[in-house]
Amino acid sequence: MTIQEASERYQIPMKLLKEYERWGLRGAKDKVEGAWQYDDTDLERLSMVMTLCGIGFTAEEAERYMRLLLEGEGAELACLRMLDQKRAAVLEEIHRRERQLEQLDYLRYELRKKNE
């Protein structure tokens, strides 16, 4: 499957596919008419990359994670540390947003109280 077909069929952004190619992590080695052909291995890896991007990984972080993942045994701990760090950052953002929401609700409460 070509890059265009992969993008259209699986709704993978072309930018992400280009990044993936730049990383050199393709499972497929064959080119047809000068274009890389994506195989099932590529699609599985791209699914993981899309998941990583969806949870807030930057392209650089996703590349590093994928390289670690492909190293195999022994790299799981490094991958787990990356996931733990991302989880901590997401929780910190949630807490920051909760504080903002509390302040917003307080201001709304004060205005309503004045209008009663």
85, 116 contact by CB (below 8 A): no
Averaged pLDDT score across all residues of the chain: 89
- Give the model confidence (pLDDT) of 5-37 as tens digits: 888 988 888 888 888 888 887 765 566 666 778
Provide φ and ψ at 38, rounded to 5°: -80, 135
* Structure-token pair, residue 43: 């699609």
pLDDT of amino acid 3: 84
pLDDT of amino acid 29: 59
pTM for the full predicted model: 0.76
Q: Which domain holds residue 11?
A: 3-115
pLDDT of amino acid 28: 57
- Pairing between β-strand 35-36 and β-strand 31-32 as defined by DSSP bridges: antiparallel
- Could you tell me what percentage of the chain is helix, strand and coil, using 3-state DSSP and rounding each to the nearest 5? 75, 5, 20
Could you tell me the CATH number of the domain that includes residue 41? 1.10.1660.10
The number of folded domains in the chain is 1
Residue 64 burial (CB < 10 Å; 0-12/13-18/19+)? middle
Please name which of 46, 49, 50 lies closest in space to residue 36, comparing C-alpha atoms: 46
pLDDT of amino acid 49: 93
pLDDT of amino acid 31: 60
- Give the model confidence (pLDDT) of 33-87 as tens digits: 667 788 888 889 999 999 999 999 999 999 999 999 988 778 999 999 999 999 9
86, 56 contact by CB (below 8 A): yes
- Give the model confidence (pLDDT) of 65-75 as tens digits: 999 998 877 89
pLDDT of amino acid 2: 83
